[in-house]
A and B are shown apart, each in its own frame.
Chain A
Amino acid sequence: MQWETVIGLEIHAQLSTRSKIFSGASVAYGAEPNSQACAVDIALPGVLPVLNRQAIEYAIRFGLAIDATINSPSVFARKNYFYPDLPKGYQISQLEHPIVEGGHVAIQTGDQEKTIRLTRAHLEEDAGKSTHEEFHGMTGIDLNRAGTGLLEIVSEPDMRSSAEAVAYAKVLHSLVRWIGICDGNMQEGSFRCDANVSVRPAGSEALGTRCEIKNLNSFRFLERAIDYEVARQIDILESGGSITQETRLYDADRDETRTMRSKEDAHDYRYFPDPDLLPVIIPQEWIDQIREKLPELPKDKRNRYIQDFGLQTYDANILTAARELADYFEQMVSVLPGQSKLCANWIMGEVSARLNKEGLEIARSPISPEQLAGLLLRITDGTISGKIAKDVFDSMWQSNGDSADTIIDAKNLRQISDDSEIEKWVDDVLAANPQQVADYRAGKEKAFNSLVGQVMKTSKGKANPAQVNSVLKKRLTE
């Protein structure tokens, strides 16, 4: 039987606000345990939550970026359960009237473009952390993370493969960083995925029984966990079994998912509106102000790059995958108008390769967009050849912000276009290689390239290649 996979994702994006969502404590990562937990975070008797306005603004930004509805009033609710790293015995979250409802994003897998719908995105607070390693036979509680603001982003079950799920997660990962609401650091848990996975016979409309896989903290794990889970479910169904709805945990070391808790163990969270927090009323003017301050979104940039700069869809997608990359590109183009293709090639070629090799993000590139544009300018005006430019690029990478001109002058790399000098090099090469000259004249075209190469070598790469070509041709046909 042919099976179809159905996937929906829940993504928790940690908001990059300075303070927590309901208290004034800092959210900085990596501090001494419990040093960033104030009276509200440790839930002393009598304390009360106060909503961080910035968190609301971030959620609105997200809603606008995915063309969703911003709900007003939006209501906070208590999700009640006991756990040692949940100090109040309830989590402040949203159930009815989430701040963001609906919306969609476009994803691309191979040549296929697809729209993924979102169900909702709501604000909530994070719990603390329980640690078992350092305390023999006991559990340590660190409440630094308790109360950190999260945006939980829930998709419709619109994805049909692990590749689509990863593409969707990457689009959201890029988007939340693009609009500046989350640092996207997956190692530190700033961007976490849970996947709801089910399979059904191809062509069937009804959804199969789903399992929720928790704790997928990299795109690779997301992909592998889904692949494992899909295979597991198909195996069960094909051997006549049925799927039990449950929550499963992905174990990266063994590359498998296993039961965490069954549906029967599911909590009754006893949600009810939090009486300590009033419904949030969001005036349209505020939404409009936030919309005005929103940066140009990736999808808009991508379309502009294709239409205005004539880039290929593929190139436009890559350049708009991260805001820093797009910024880099646009700063180059502003120095080199009309050379957007050349700029794109260099970013996706030399710059990307070098960054990958050294494990750097574009924002940490030792070569600024202005520097690189200065280098490309010297190719377009004929000062240096493309080949020499690569040498200059290498030197520039090592240098401390030296301009292309400084390096070209210091190394005396300026291209030589003086006819008499080039003629002299050509004559020397022809005199030294009578055999190849004879070969060429006998019709062996390859010999010509070899002669060009020798002239370039003699000139230490500085001869203008176009001129070398024409002088050599002239001499050989004389």
Chain B
Amino acid sequence: MLNASLRQLSLLLSEKKISSTELTSEFLSRIKALNPDLNAFITIDEEKSLDQANVADKMIAAGRSTPLTGIPIAQKDIFCARGWLTTCGSKMLSNFVSPYDATVVERFDQAGMVNLGKTNMDEFAMGSSNETSYYGPVKNPWDRLAVPGGSSGGSACAVAARLAPAATGSDTGGSIRQPAALCGISGIKPTYGLVSRYGMIAFASSLDQGGPMAKSAEDLALLLNTMVGFDERDSTSLQRAEENYTQDLEKPVNGLRIGLPKEFFAEGMSSDVSNVIEAALAEYRKLGATFVEVSLPNSKLAVPVYYVLAPAEASSNLSRFDGVRYGYRTAQYSSLEDLYTKTRAEGFGEEVKRRILIGTYVLSHGYYDAYYLQAQKLRRLIAEDFRKAFEQCDLIMGPTTPTVAFNIGEKCDDPIQMYLSDIYTSTASLAGLPGMSIPAGFGSKNRPVGLHIIGNYFREAQMLNVAHRYQQVTNWHELTPPETSN
């Protein structure tokens, strides 16, 4: 049952072969056993989860169920959930119990899913290794010396270790796709504007996008059917006709034109990753796809552009954490200035402070034009690169990350090296394009490698179809990490 797909679970539940309460209890006891070591969850609340399972069982009994009713889902701790501690991985919110639900949480609640708990993450989603969390690092279930990636590291770990059948994530520069790749699971960041940001604690508003993380593309499609939708509470939410992401999963992919950006297959990618990607592309060739080389000449600027724009927005988004109305407040202060300074110095971790400083700097008088405005111009050029590339191909493939998961502590003192793990993913983020990572094999030290799929705007259904066809002929997504703990 731990390895069952969402569709299988849905069938078991609707045929009443298992109750949501039983299913939820099983995952809860697994979390209890394995989480102390993996540290994938920040908050678990059995009573709340079982109450929801009970509601789900009643929905099923009353014949009011959806395909997701009764299935547990882990929520990244960036999503506000009413009555739940919502920390965003920070000491700053270590006492914040949200009085309201994020739209994403609300939509899954209404579908009858069970909130299994809140997953660990890099503090305010700033990080690529889950090491910046106030609640400590998360371990990669495939190799507990390794990081799970970040910032949605807890969610990726939970799904990979089968602590949850599915999880939510959020992706600003790669925070769904990179940990999905490093933990050997599937994750998709939809087109910017498809999933409501309301209640998802803001990091960089023009890039942040929620998305599902699960074992397979088919699971992602099911989750996306519920997760996507217009929300009047989010002004950047898009009003579009409802789409069914599962209906095209089985379509054949022969004739598919896959674009391979030459910049993604150049130096920087390690050979173990490159071997896995070549093998994955060979599978696609067998499925009838063709390949075309494309160019994204400005992609080398994606990381610097990202590290101007995201911190700029973050420096402003995080101003509300001032110790005045909620969250952490320093114990002793002598003035208003002192209250602000100490609260923020004590409440934020190093990486968050670094990015607030960078962001404040690039928005400052005299620097704005040289950094912020310049980065905005480059952002448009990066999007333009993709527009041209998609004239030649249907979607783009490459590695999700340049290397497999590194060791915990290995890159902590080298932020630039850490930032470079977003090199492939941040390019798509800046263009607002949908991006996805699916497991494609293993590299050095038997650590997972992810295949990155970038689609054109609103082509999520096509991406899921292409990923699903691959998962029908491979079993990487079905493999589970060794059970040894400690």
Q: How many A-B residue pairs have CB under 8 A?
A: 98
Min C-beta distance of A337 to chain B, whole Å? 51
Q: Is the interface of A mostly helix, strand, loop or mixed?
A: loop
Q: Tell me whether B96 and A45 are in contact (CB under 8 A).
A: yes
Residues on B with C-beta less than 8 A from A268 are 364-365
Q: Tell me whether B340 and A82 are in contact (CB under 8 A).
A: yes
Residues on A with C-beta less than 8 A from B372 are 272
> Nearest residue in A to B365 (C-beta to C-beta)?
A268
Q: Tell me whether B316 and A270 are in contact (CB under 8 A).
A: yes
Q: Tell me whether A48 and B324 are in contact (CB under 8 A).
A: no
Q: CA–CA, A42 to B99, complex, Å?
A: 12
Q: Does A39 make an interface contact (CB < 8 A)?
A: yes
Q: Tell me whether B325 and A87 are in contact (CB under 8 A).
A: yes
Count chain B CB atoms within 10 A of each CB in A43, A47, A51 and give the residue with the most: A47
Q: CA–CA, A154 to B318, complex, Å?
A: 31
Q: Does A236 make an interface contact (CB < 8 A)?
A: no
Residues on B with C-beta less than 8 A from A47 are 198-199
Q: Tell me whether A78 and B316 are in contact (CB under 8 A).
A: yes
Q: Tell me whether B205 and A276 are in contact (CB under 8 A).
A: yes
> Nearest residue in A to B361 (C-beta to C-beta)?
A270
Q: Does A90 make an interface contact (CB < 8 A)?
A: yes
Q: Does A44 make an interface contact (CB < 8 A)?
A: yes
Chain B 196-234 residues near chain A, CB threshold 8 A: 197-202, 204-206, 232-234
Min C-beta distance of B46 to chain A, whole Å? 25
Min C-beta distance of A19 to chain B, whole Å? 14
Q: Does A106 make an interface contact (CB < 8 A)?
A: no
Q: Does B88 make an interface contact (CB < 8 A)?
A: yes
Q: Tell me whether A278 and B201 are in contact (CB under 8 A).
A: no
Mask, B94-109, CB within 8 Å of A = 1, is 0010111010000000
Chain A 297-340 residues near chain B, CB threshold 8 A: none
Chain B 233-267 residues near chain A, CB threshold 8 A: 233-236
Q: Is the interface of B mostly helix, strand, loop or mixed?
A: loop
Residue in contact with B236 in the complex, picked from A78, A272, A278, CB distance below 8 Å = A278
Residues on A with C-beta less than 8 A from B364 are 268, 270
Residues on A with C-beta less than 8 A from B100 are 39, 44
Residue in contact with B200 in the complex, picked from A43, A46, A78, A270, CB distance below 8 Å = A46
> Nearest residue in A to B102 (C-beta to C-beta)?
A46
Q: Tell me whether B324 and A80 are in contact (CB under 8 A).
A: no
Residue in contact with A48 in the complex, picked from B235, B316, B368, CB distance below 8 Å = B235
Residues on A with C-beta less than 8 A from B205 are 275-276
Q: Does A84 make an interface contact (CB < 8 A)?
A: yes
Min C-beta distance of B336 to chain A, whole Å? 7
Count chain B CB atoms within 10 A of each CB in A42, A270, A277 and give the residue with the most: A270
Q: Does A348 make an interface contact (CB < 8 A)?
A: no
> Nearest residue in B to A37 (C-beta to C-beta)?
B325
Q: Tell me whether A84 and B199 are in contact (CB under 8 A).
A: no
Min C-beta distance of A39 to chain B, whole Å? 6
Chain B 152-206 residues near chain A, CB threshold 8 A: 197-202, 204-206
Q: Tell me whether B235 and A276 are in contact (CB under 8 A).
A: yes
With contact pairs A48-B234, A78-B316 given, residues A272 and B325 touching in the complex (Cβ less than 8 Å): no
Residues on B with C-beta less than 8 A from A39 are 99-100
Q: Tell me whether B88 and A82 are in contact (CB under 8 A).
A: no
Q: CA–CA, A82 to B102, complex, Å?
A: 26
Q: Does A401 make an interface contact (CB < 8 A)?
A: no
With contact pairs A88-B320, A90-B316 given, residues A48 and B198 touching in the complex (Cβ less than 8 Å): yes
Q: CA–CA, A90 to B319, complex, Å?
A: 7
Q: How many residues of B contact A (CB 8 A)?
A: 45
Min C-beta distance of A152 to chain B, whole Å? 20
Q: Tell me whether A272 and B368 are in contact (CB under 8 A).
A: yes
Residues on A with C-beta less than 8 A from B53 are none
Min C-beta distance of A236 to chain B, whole Å? 29
Residues on A with C-beta less than 8 A from B327 are 45
With contact pairs A88-B319, A272-B368 given, residues A43 and B325 touching in the complex (Cβ less than 8 Å): yes
Q: CA–CA, A87 to B202, complex, Å?
A: 15
With contact pairs A46-B202, A50-B233 given, residues A272 and B312 touching in the complex (Cβ less than 8 Å): yes
Residues on B with C-beta less than 8 A from A80 are 315-316, 319, 363
Residues on B with C-beta less than 8 A from A82 are 319, 322, 340
Q: Does B360 make an interface contact (CB < 8 A)?
A: yes
Q: CA–CA, A271 to B360, complex, Å?
A: 11
Q: CA–CA, A48 to B197, complex, Å?
A: 8
Q: Does B326 make an interface contact (CB < 8 A)?
A: yes
Q: Does B65 make an interface contact (CB < 8 A)?
A: no
Q: CA–CA, A275 to B321, complex, Å?
A: 19
Q: Does B122 make an interface contact (CB < 8 A)?
A: no
Chain B 95-152 residues near chain A, CB threshold 8 A: 96, 98-100, 102
Q: CA–CA, A99 to B117, complex, Å?
A: 45
Mask, A121-152, CB within 8 Å of B = 1, is 00000000000000000010100000000000
Q: CA–CA, A255 to B90, complex, Å?
A: 50
Chain B 68-96 residues near chain A, CB threshold 8 A: 79-80, 86, 88, 93, 96
Q: Tell me whether B80 and A45 are in contact (CB under 8 A).
A: yes
Q: A45-B86, A45-B98, A47-B198 are known contacts; what are 11 more A-B pairs with Cβ within 8 Å?
A: A39-B100, A45-B201, A46-B198, A78-B316, A82-B322, A87-B320, A88-B319, A89-B318, A268-B364, A270-B368, A276-B205
Binding site for B on A (CB under 8 A): 39, 42-51, 78, 80, 82, 84, 87-90, 139, 141, 268, 270-272, 275-278
Binding site for A on B (CB under 8 A): 79-80, 86, 88, 93, 96, 98-100, 102, 197-202, 204-206, 232-236, 312-313, 315-316, 318-322, 324-327, 336, 340, 360, 363-365, 368, 372
The 10 closest A-B CB pairs, nearest first, are A89-B319, A275-B206, A275-B205, A270-B363, A46-B199, A43-B320, A45-B201, A46-B80, A46-B201, A268-B365
